[in-house]
Each structure stands twice: as C-alpha cells, then as structure tokens.
Amino acid sequence: MLSSTFHTFLYQPLFNALIFLYQTVSFYDLGIAIIVLTVVIRFVLYPVSQKGIRSQREMFAIQPLIKKIQEEYKGRKEEQMKRTMALYKEKKINPFSGCLPILIQLPVLIALYWVFMAGFDDKSLENLYGFIQNPGPINHIFLGFIDISRKNIYLAILAGILQFYQSKMILNEQMRNQAKGSSQNDFSTTMSKQMTYMMPMVTVAVSYSLQAGLALYWITTTAFSIAQQWIIFKKAK
C-alpha cells in the first residue's frame, strides 16, 4: 500500500514532469530538465520554506529573552520549559517549523533517487501518462560533457561548497543574535559551528556516492535556499 502510494503520488508525477521538461524546455538535456524541475519544486514549496527560515531567525532573535528566563528560573527546569513555551506562544513562533522544509523535501529527494535508480529505459517509460510523449533514448550528458547517470566528484564538491555557504549564513545570523554569556547559547553555537563544517563533508560524500543527477538537484536546491535566506535576512535587518 505504501509502495503503491509513493509510486502514484511521488515517483510517477516527478518522472513525468522530468520527461516533459526534457522534451519542452531543456533542449533534450536531462541536466537542464533537473535544474528547471528543482526550481519549480522550490517555488511550489516557497511559502513553507520561507516560514521555516523566518521562524529559525526569530528563534535566534529571542535568545536574549530565553537567557533571561534561564537565569531567573535557574535550577527549575520545569518552570524554564513552561516560561519558554509561553514565550514562543507570545511571539507566535513554532520552534519546530524550521525542520518542516527538510521533512517535506526528503520524500522528493527519495523519489528522484528512485527515478534515477529505475533509469529511463523502455520499462520505466511505461510510467508515462497518456498525454506525455515517449522521448525515446534519453540523453544523459549535461552541457555536452557531464554524464549525470554516473558519479561526478566535481558536482559533489560544488554541492559541499554551497552547503557550507548556506550553513555559514545561518551560523552568522545565530551569532549575531545570540545572548552573550549564556552557557545554553555557547553550547548551541558550538554545535552549529561543528555542523557548519561537518555537513559539507557529509554532503560531498553522499553526493559522490550517488548519480550526478541527484548532486545536481542538491546543488540547485541549495543555491535556491541561499538566495531565499539572503532575501529574508536582508529584509529582517
């Protein structure tokens, strides 16, 4: 049942959208089709991801108030939690909304993974809707020289660089708003710094272990996120 639902509502729509874009706007370049599809997905998810980024920044901005609560109710963890939740409610902040964009994008990433794993042979092309024309043999060469059906270290490294830049933007925003002298914030900042340098390495390793088409998707979605964060942070300032 779950497999059938995944196939019907995620795999098949993404597969058909990719083939449609491949034939209409990408000049039969699958890499360009992946970039266009990723941008379309990100625009569809824009309101959700925008809310998540804003919520994350608002969480950084109220750190001085959280520090004050921690100092006022030192040693009283239950009261700290109660007052902190009341603060979230007062400021209309959902502390979990920052994770929502990642949770929504994960099924899309998994579906694209299966699109590439299943390939684009005659059997896979049977999943095309009736109104999508069968394109025949698929061109896997991106920009004339990158085979996106295979691993590519250069795309993997680029994905890692963009991941680092995105994480660095978030870290800088956090440090700009952190409450000085708070051990809670010191720990939070330390963890953020560690993740800023660890996540790019993980991104490179994972991207290189998969087909380059998925690395291209990750590059595009990260670049979109960087632009979105820059707009929101600039407006907030």
Return the pLDDT at 83: 83
Alpha-carbon span 120 to 131, nearest angstrom: 18
List Cβ neighbours of 158 (8 Å cut-off, separation of 6 or more): 215, 219
Return the pLDDT at 71: 80
| Residue pair 153/206 in contact by the 8 Å Cβ criterion | no
pTM: 0.82
Phi, psi values for residue 213, rounded to 5°: -60, -40
Alpha-carbon span 209 to 61, nearest angstrom: 38
Alpha-carbon span 221 to 227, nearest angstrom: 10
Q: Provide the β-strand partners of residue 147.
A: 141
Return the pLDDT at 180: 47
CA distances for 102 relative to 42, 65, 158, 222, angstroms: 12, 27, 20, 11
Token representation of residue 56: 């994350």
Phi, psi values for residue 161, rounded to 5°: -65, -45
Q: How far apart are the first and last CA of the chain?
A: 48
Among candidate residues 57, 45, 36, the one with its CA nearest the CA of residue 102: 45
Alpha-carbon span 151 to 141, nearest angstrom: 12
pLDDT in tens, the chain (237 residues): 557 888 888 889 999 999 999 999 888 899 999 999 999 988 988 887 877 777 777 777 777 788 788 788 787 788 888 888 888 888 777 777 667 667 777 888 788 888 888 888 888 888 899 899 998 888 888 988 899 989 999 999 999 999 999 988 888 877 776 644 444 555 666 777 788 889 999 999 999 998 899 999 999 999 999 998 888 877 766
Alpha-carbon span 33 to 191, nearest angstrom: 37
